[in-house]
């Protein structure tokens, strides 16, 4: 069963706070040095000598964790997952848990910083088999398994939806957003009168007595505009 992102969980756009910021170029959250100290009690400046070095390390940690998550996905669902990670409150919380725990893991047990490319355990002085499964902490792995992160397909419908109490309200929305013309709106007396368009779908939910509009091109639009960020509107 494919579920939609719940309204209470859906973010219009990624956001920055005291623990994480969003990189709009690579489309991923990056934890902040102060956030890791505040929430995970790890002082990375002690380990990395400067705050700039510590932040660079967290940028690398973010990249690794995102790639681990994407490694579970069928390639055709990677972009859907990228969108979900950017627009889900729950996913944002789980990501920070993974960042925090992996920061601890790398500090104590090596993790992906355990000879990042060579597969050599520098602490023990011996070679090991280094796979992507060793890149994140055991707790972070469990978080992946306990969420949609580990599913091969995408069990979440990321299409944006709008609900309307009346058919007239729906038609006004369709006209204002360019889906239909005013003439087509005037001619449509019931739902079946609306012209067919592959970019959206509209259903009437009888038991709720409401109309649900679904933007079928949500992901396509996000991909087309993902490198264009308008700071005024907060959109890609």
Specify the pLDDT at position 96.
96
Beta strand 126-127 pairing with 161-164: unpaired
- Is 200 exposed, middle or buried, given 0-12, 13-18 or 19+ CB atoms closer than 10 A? buried
Specify the pLDDT at position 116.
47
Specify the pLDDT at position 8.
58
What are the domain boundaries of the chain? 3-157, 161-215
pLDDT tens for the 236 residues of the chain, in order: 444 556 557 787 899 999 999 998 899 999 999 999 999 898 999 988 999 999 999 999 999 899 989 988 888 888 888 888 998 899 999 999 999 988 888 776 555 554 444 444 434 444 444 455 566 778 888 888 888 788 887 777 777 778 899 999 999 999 998 889 999 999 999 999 998 888 888 888 888 889 988 887 776 766 555 555 555 665 54
Specify the pLDDT at position 112.
54
Specify the pLDDT at position 80.
85
Residue 29: which H helix or E strand, with range?
strand 28-31
Specify the pLDDT at position 159.
74
Specify the pLDDT at position 151.
83
């Amino acid at each position: 069963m494919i579920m939609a992102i719940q309204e209470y969980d859906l973010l219009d756009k990624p956001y920055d706070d005291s623990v994480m910021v969003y990189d709009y170029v690579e489309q991923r959250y990056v934890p902040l040095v102060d956030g890791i100290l505040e929430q995970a009690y790890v002082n990375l400046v002690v380990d990395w000598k400067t705050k700039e070095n510590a932040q660079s390390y967290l940028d690398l940690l973010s990249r690794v964790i995102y790639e681990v998550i994407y490694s579970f996905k069928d390639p055709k669902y990677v972009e859907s997952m990228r969108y979900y990670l950017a627009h889900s409150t729950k996913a944002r919380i789980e990501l920070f848990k993974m960042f925090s725990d992996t920061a601890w893991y790398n500090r104590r047990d090596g993790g992906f910083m355990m000879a990042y490319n060579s597969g050599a355990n520098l602490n023990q002085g011996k070679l090991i088999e280094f796979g992507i499964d060793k890149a994140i902490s055991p707790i972070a792995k469990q978080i992946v398994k306990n969420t949609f992160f580990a599913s091969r397909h995408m069990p979440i419908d990321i299409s944006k939806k709008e609900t309307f109490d009346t058919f007239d309200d729906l038609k006004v929305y369709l006209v204002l957003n360019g889906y239909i013309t005013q003439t087509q709106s005037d001619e449509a007396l019931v739902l079946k009168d609306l012209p067919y368009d592959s970019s959206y779908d509209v259903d009437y939910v009888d038991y709720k007595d409401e109309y649900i509009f679904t933007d079928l091109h949500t992901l396509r639009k996000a991909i087309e505009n993902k490198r264009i960020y308008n700071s005024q509107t907060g959109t890609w």
